[in-house]
Amino acid sequence: MHSSDFIQNTFMRMDRRAYALFIGLLIGGAGAAIGLTMTMMGPVMTFAFVLGGLAALYIITDVQAALYTIIAIMMLLPYGTLPFDIGFTPTLLDLAIGGFLVVYLTGWMIGDRRRLTLTPVHPLLILYILWILLAFALGLSHSPITTSIARQFVGLLLSLSLVFVIVDLMRDPVLLRRLVLIILVVVAMQALITLGLYILPDQTADNLLARLARIGYPNGGVIRYIEENPALAERAIGTWNDPNSLGGILAIAAVIIAPQVFAKKPVLRYRLLTLGVLGLVGLALFLTYSRASMAAMAAGLGVIAVVRYRRFIPLMLLATLLILLLPQTQAYVQRFAEALTFSDLASQMRLGEYSDSIRLISRYPVFGVGFTGTPDIDIYTDVASLYLIMANQIGLVGLGLFIVFIVGVLLYGVHTYSFARKDDELDAIHLGYHAALITALVNAVGDLFFFRLDFQASITMFWLTITLALAASRLATEREHVRQAANQPLPNAPISGRIAPVITHAQPDAAP
């Protein structure tokens, strides 16, 4: 029985008069709420509330719809919040993940789910989560918690919970393949928004983004430039407001999509459309001027080309030549050269951050300083590297547990790819999810957004990528076991029973 059936049966048990009264009160309350919202916030916000309410009603009856909503909000409105305070201000992503978990847990309560299916790597993740909780608790001894940090830390735990829930849910390759399609659609929408805002005059784009202020976005002043200098080139931000975090998301999504261009059984029938979306996302990523993200996407595509689809190599070489030779891209090439030589302002600032991070780690090497602040005024936790900020906040032990877990995920993926490669349903998506994880890990060398608490959408995308890689590996293993069982003769079956079907099929040919 699904959660929607559970709700329907509950209402059917009610007395008809009580049911009619309940419906009347519900309609009256909804009308009053709409009228009040119209008066206080205007028609646009009223329409948004009604649409959001209808969407929420649908989401709480379908776990897949709830998952798709998480991906859509994460990609399109990563910093959106409720337009009002309820003691704290939850983000739209908080609500989406919370709703998803409620629907999932409802399935357990009504008996739809009776067995939790995980992977051999999940115990390593449990150790990592326990260490995070310990580091957080120890950090409270020198810095008190705030409402904002508490909400953000809960958001981190919600994102980590997806690794258990989604892996358990993904028991059919159709679901995993559909997620690739959902990611393709929403990242194409984000790329179009990004390019549209980039093309518009700066003030117009800033005014448009300021309209999102009612749901938690800044009220203007969000357009970004290289080195924050308006005299230099503008950096694409889309609805992410930060070019580096947007670049990381676009790079991961592009690598998830890329194998579909040459897959035997692509999720989208029209390969040229897939290639067009990939090009669109690549252009949007290029305009972020995020060097770490560009290098990460190149690494992910390189893995795909070397492991499976060598037809990507000419495309990558062509793109590299165009970037190196076109006059319009010379400033970009110069930016990469400055990064490699640490000769620009951003690279020099990162060197300073790395030095400060090493000083912090030397003082607090085991547990780090936690998530609520630092005990010494001369140190800080923010540093442009996931690995260093992780060591700052949860110590070298926590970083070591994370690395062991990631190595486990990748080794599990390498082991199961021999199974997935035989399966046209899983071949491309298994490779895409694991290459996307490598993309995220490379990007994390030069950016911190996959661990910094106030970048919840980036954290969610990172752990969702890990989740999908694990789900693809587990499903590949299960389907291989099914294939092997199907190819083995039944135990103790008589020989005549094994050859009877052959004789049966041969009889019509023998007939005159």
Full 3-state SS string of 52-107: HHHHHHHHCCCHHHHHHHHHHHHHHCCCCECCCCCCCCCEHHHHHHHHHHHHHHHH
- Is pLDDT at 330 greater than 90 in this prediction? no
- Is pLDDT at 495 greater than 50 in this prediction? no
Place of tokens 């602040």: 373
- CA atoms of 478 and 481, how far apart (whole Å): 5
Closest among 179, 195, 383, 219 to 276, alpha carbons compared: 195
- Is pLDDT at 56 greater than 60 in this prediction? no
pLDDT in tens, 86-98: 777 889 998 889 8
* pLDDT reported for residue 509: 41
Q: What is the mean pLDDT of residues 140-146?
A: 90
Q: What is the mean pLDDT of residues 94-105?
A: 88
Closest among 325, 306, 305, 303 to 315, alpha carbons compared: 305
* pLDDT reported for residue 499: 37
Q: What is the mean pLDDT of residues 35-60?
A: 54
- Is pLDDT at 82 greater than 90 in this prediction? no
- Is pLDDT at 512 greater than 50 in this prediction? no
DSSP-derived secondary structure letter, 260: G
Contacts 24+ apart (CB under 8 A), 81-88: 81/215, 81/216, 82/215, 82/216, 83/41, 83/45, 83/214, 83/215, 83/216, 87/147, 88/147, 88/148, 88/150, 88/151
* pLDDT reported for residue 90: 86
Q: pLDDT band for position 469 (50/70/90)?
A: very high
pTM: 0.85
DSSP 3-state assignment of 91? strand
* pLDDT reported for residue 463: 97
Task: State which H helix or E strand residue 85 sits in.
Answer: none
List Cβ neighbours of 486 (8 Å cut-off, separation of 6 or more). none
Give residue 428's Cα distance to chain centre.
Answer: 18
Conformational region of residue 290, where left means phi above 0, alpha means psi within -120 to 50, and beta covers everything else: beta
* pLDDT reported for residue 250: 97
* pLDDT reported for residue 307: 93
Q: What is the 3-state secondary structure (H, E, C) of 101-135?
A: HHHHHHHHHCCCCCCCCCCCCHHHHHHHHHHHHHH
Write down the domain spans for the chain.
62-484
* pLDDT reported for residue 43: 54
Highest mean pLDDT among 297-301, 477-481, 491-495: 297-301
91 forms beta bridges with 81
Amino acid at 53: G
Q: What DSSP line would sit under 378-443, residue for residue?
A: T-----S-HHHHHHHHHHHHHHHHHHHHHHHHHHHHHHHHHHHTT-TTTHHHHHHHHHHHHHHHHH
- Is pLDDT at 474 greater than 60 in this prediction? yes
Highest mean pLDDT among 57-61, 103-107, 307-311, 454-458: 454-458
CA dihedral 499, 501, 505, 506 (to 10 degrees): 20
List Cβ neighbours of 262 (8 Å cut-off, separation of 6 or more). 271, 309, 311, 312, 428
- CA atoms of 135 and 142, how far apart (whole Å): 12
Q: Which two tokens stand for residue 430?
A: 């298994």
224 forms beta bridges with 235
Q: Which two tokens stand for residue 127?
A: 């150790």
